[in-house]
Structure 1
Amino acid sequence: MISIDPASVSTRDNYKLLIGSIAPRPIAMVTTMNRDGVLNAAPFSFFNIVTANPPMVSIAVQRKPDGTRKDTAANAVAGGEFVVHVADEGYGEQMNRTAASIPSEESEVELAGLTPVASSKIRVPGIAEAKVRMECVLERVVELGGDEAGAPSCDLLIGRVVCFHVDETIYEAGRIDAAALRPLSRLAGDDYARLGERFTMERPL
């Protein structure tokens, strides 16, 4: 067993250890809107459930090298709203295109050829291609990480889900059919994974 002190290696090395071992990771494609009405989209694999009462999800958005917020975090904090989409095979290639670095006045949604769809309870549109999307209001933003000077390296967005949109083809009796959803997950480097073999283990009483 190799023991590594994270303080003795670079941030990049710690990043590689994390993404290589914490895998597969679910992917959220998040849409936000800036003050000029430009619809931003970007994928994030530092994504998970927070609680079901009320339903909340978390997105960890790493900051730019200069310490400023990325468009997703900046827009979510300024507008207080965002839409979380579960990445699936049906629009995987388009989702990947939204990771491109383009100016904030340009839309990744347009770049990727995705279809905006109006939300029910918030102003920020979602993406029609996704089988699951969640309209969220910003519950809290937590600034985390950073250097010795105290500048944060990450914005943890906690979103409270105010509306779920689920495609009829994957929904039955209140449950999501994972096989029909065909979710994508993230590995290290440029690698992704599809839903693989499943098995059941009963929880102990």
Structure 2
Amino acid sequence: PSGESKDTRANLGEGEHCVVHIPQVTQMQEVSDSAATLDYGDSELERLNLSLESFEGFPLPRIKESPIAFGCKVAKVIEWGETPQALILLEIEQAFVDDNYVGEDDKGRLKIDAKNLNPLARLGANEYASLGDVLSLARPK
């Protein structure tokens, strides 16, 4: 409302590292609570009783309770508009996927079991979405 950048935006400049977490639908309340307007430096993690653990091969930790995490480097920041807005492009350097959500496809390749994971999607304002039906369609040869 004040037009000031939230902590995440304020902390990200080109070349900076960050971790993007993919929560589950069951974590919707924690995700919503993490969006509270706090003073700079006040930690959402402490308020939500979430914990950090080392992220092997990446300089920043990840949230232990998150089933998927991507260790990223900011590739580009594109700002526009009268009200400061930014599109932040990230390069994934490292990935973590909880083994409980990994399976194999019919060709023996690893894949994320999206239905079992049931990831949470943020639509905007107070709205979120789940996957609902997971559809599958073979690619043409």
Question: What range is the shorter-chain TM-score in?
Answer: 0.7 to 0.9
1:155 paired with 2:86, answer yes
Q: What count of residue pairs does the alignment treat as equivalent? A: 136
1:117 paired with 2:48, answer no
Secondary structure in 2 matching 1:156: strand
How far does the alpha carbon of each residue in 1:16-61 deviate from its partner, in whole angstroms, 9 at most, with x for none? xxxxxxxxxxxxxxxxxxxxxxxxxxxxxxxxxxxxxxxxxxxxxx
Instruction: Give the share of equivalent positions with the same residue, in percent.
Output: 29
| TM-score, normalised via structure 1 length | 0.58
Distance change >3 Å, CA 201–CA 168, structure 1 → 2: closer
**1:142·1:156 contact (CA, 8 Å) conserved in 2?**
yes
1:128 paired with 2:59, answer no
Counterpart-to-counterpart distance in 2, 1:159 and 1:121: 17
Which letter does structure 2 place at the counterpart of 1:95? V
Secondary structure in 2 matching 1:77: coil
* Structure 1 residue ranges, 4+ long, deviating more than 4 angstroms after superposition: 201-205
> How many Å apart are 1:69 and its aligned residue?
2.6
**2:58·2:94 contact (CA, 8 Å) conserved in 1?**
no
Counterpart-to-counterpart distance in 2, 1:185 and 1:197: 14
Counterpart residue number, 1:197: 133
Unmatched 5+ stretches in structure 1: 1-63
Secondary structure in 2 matching 1:104: coil
Counterpart-to-counterpart distance in 2, 1:135 and 1:184: 19
1:172 paired with 2:103, answer yes
**1:185·1:192 contact (CA, 8 Å) conserved in 2?**
yes
**1:95·1:112 contact (CA, 8 Å) conserved in 2?**
no
Counterpart-to-counterpart distance in 1, 2:92 and 2:85: 22
Counterpart-to-counterpart distance in 2, 1:82 and 1:142: 17
**1:116·1:128 contact (CA, 8 Å) conserved in 2?**
yes
Which letter does structure 2 place at the counterpart of 1:157? I
RMSD: 2.3
Distance change >3 Å, CA 170–CA 90, structure 1 → 2: same
